[in-house]
């Protein structure tokens, strides 16, 4: 049976993980994206329900109390969380799903999921990362400092992930992540189930 796999993608702000995920969704590779809830304000061009569910602090805290999140974290002075139901639904329907979340959230998911696949996207260097964040032009000086300060802290979590992909070239990094996702479908998760199928035939 083809079971849905959960892919967690993390990496410092500005590393391009959002763009990589968007490109994967544009390919034929069958995978869904988990849309997070956040209390931060929408950036220009962002759409409610596509990029995030934009909620108030009160709404977010109510949802925490109702156990509506698979994980949540306080990142860059705002709340971010993964709504539980869509993830469970996708996996139970045999669909793959990507969670693009920070390291704190990824560590929480690890505690509740045995077979998640954890991919860390790295910048070629911190200098390149700074240039990319500045080039995006959406950050104030304060938020740039907050994000850069957090980058190295996040990179130190690389050892907790299964794969690391350096985003030097966007096309290549996207192909690399898709390659990992494909390969994961060949992982032997339940050998007994496989063997049982062949044993059944010889009975």
Binding interface with ligand 5GP (CB under 6 A): 13, 36, 40, 71, 73, 75-76, 80-82, 100-102, 104-105
Exposure string of 91-130, with b = 16+ CB inside 10 Å and e = fewer, is beeeebbbbbbbbbbbbbbeeebeeebbbbbbbeeeeebb
Q: Which is nearer to ligand 5GP, 121 or 181 (CB)?
A: 121
For residue 29, the minimal CB distance to ligand 5GP (Å) is 20
Closest residue by beta carbon to ligand 5GP: 105
When the beta carbons of 142 and 203 are compared against ligand 5GP, the nearer one is: 142
User: SS3 for 189?
Assistant: coil
- Residue number with CB closer to ligand 5GP (61 or 200): 61
What is the number of residues in the chain?
Answer: 203
**35 vs 46: CA distance, rounded Å:** 12
Shortest spacing between CB 30 and ligand 5GP, in angstroms: 22
What single-letter DSSP state applies at residue 39? Answer: S
Q: Choose between 85 and 188: whose C-beta lies nearer to ligand 5GP.
A: 85
């Amino acid at each position: 049976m083809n079971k849905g796999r959960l892919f967690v993608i993390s990496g410092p702000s500005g590393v391009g993980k959002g763009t990589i995920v968007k490109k994967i969704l544009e390919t034929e590779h069958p995978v869904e994206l988990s849309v997070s809830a956040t209390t931060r304000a929408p950036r220009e061009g962002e759409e409610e329900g596509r990029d995030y569910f934009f909620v108030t602090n009160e709404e977010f805290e109510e949802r925490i109390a109702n156990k509506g999140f698979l994980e949540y974290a306080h990142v860059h002075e705002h709340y971010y969380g993964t709504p539980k139901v869509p993830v469970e639904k996708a996996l139970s329907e045999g669909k793959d799903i990507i969670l693009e979340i920070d390291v704190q959230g990824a560590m929480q998911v690890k505690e509740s999921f045995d077979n998640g696949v954890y991919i860390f996207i790295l910048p070629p260097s911190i200098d390149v990362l700074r240039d990319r964040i500045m080039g995006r032009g959406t950050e104030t000086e304060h938020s740039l400092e907050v994000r850069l300060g957090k980058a190295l802290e996040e990179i130190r979590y690389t050892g907790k992930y299964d794969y690391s992909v350096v985003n030097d070239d966007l096309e290549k990094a996207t192909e690399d992540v898709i390659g990992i996702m494909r390969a994961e479908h060949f992982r032997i998760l339940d050998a007994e189930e496989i063997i049982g199928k062949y044993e059944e035939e010889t009975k």
